[in-house]
Amino acid sequence: MSVLDIDASTARKKLVQFIRDQMTSAGFEHGIIGLSGGLDSTVTAYLAAEALTASNVIGLILPYRSANDEGREHAKLVVTKLDIESQTIDVTPQIEAYFAQFPHADRLRRANKIARERMSVLYDHSRVYEALVIGTGNKSEGLLGYTTLWGDMACAFNPLGNLYKTQVRQLAEELGVAEAIRNKPPSAGLWPGQTDEGELGFTYAEADQILYWLIDQQCSAEQVAEKGFPRELVAQIATRVKRSAFKSRMPPVAGM
């Protein structure tokens, strides 16, 4: 048994109730989600449909032209399976118009812009539907800083924010998410062949165990390495966590 194993049935019930409570306290009936066709947004959509009923959930599919079409097809599969309302809005024109002024912008700059444009569209449509934006990020991404401020991090509330990626996979199985979505390599769909783990340089399965000991159990990097994890990988992950901490807190305000 792994330290990351969860009681998926109990987690499901808690998160469904969490979504209901957040919606009720804010006075909203509708929730809107950006559907990438990936694991996290799919699990969030399943939970939201269970919590709010399908008629109160809207999924936006926001493709960019250079990304793989598989994500779009999987997002449509989720929409059909849950019978939720959806729209597909191509964000390519606004991205291309902007970077026509900056043709030498690197890949990371473009990726962050795509994430922020997608969230801008999502928030615009939240007004149309009078809906709250439901976040889809997981704990692994948040701790590692593999997320974009004012992009995929933006939301009214985040059901999966305290679950590691490997735990989201367990929850997906409990919810009956299609195997094709559960087992495919995680990707933000930013360019052809792009994967989270390819960019990070390690797998979530590796990172989650190390993060558990570093964060949940408050062990030092040295103590984690002594448990048998590669010392270099532990140091790499610990450094990422430290350098990314600013993303997960409110902007500091100077005292007067």
CATH of the domain at 55: 3.40.50.620
pLDDT recorded at residue 68 = 64
Question: What percentage of the chain carries pLDDT values higher than 90?
Answer: 85
Is 248 a member of any domain? no
Asked if the structure places residue 71 within a domain, the reply is yes
Q: Above pLDDT 70, what percent of the chain? A: 96
Q: Is residue 103 part of a domain?
A: yes
**Residue numbers of the domain that contains 107:** 8-197
Q: Is residue 114 part of a domain?
A: yes
Within-domain flag for 3 = no
In a domain, 235, yes or no: no
Could you tell me if residue 104 is inside a domain? yes
Segment 75-116, tens digit of pLDDT: 999 999 999 999 999 999 999 999 999 999 998 899 999 999
In a domain, 232, yes or no: no
DSSP secondary structure string for all residues of the chain: --TT---HHHHHHHHHHHHHHHHHHHT--EEEEE--SSHHHHHHHHHHHHHH-GGGEEEEE---TTS-HHHHHHHHHHHHHHT-EEEE---HHHHHHHHTS-TT--HHHHHHHHHHHHHHHHHHHHHHHTEEEBP---HHHHHHT-S-TTTTT--SB-TTTTS-HHHHHHHHHHHT--HHHHHSPP---SSTT--HHHHHTS-HHHHHHHHIIIIIS---HHHHHTTTS-HHHHHHHHHHHHHHGGGGSPPP----
Domain count, the chain: 1
Mean pLDDT of 141-165: 96
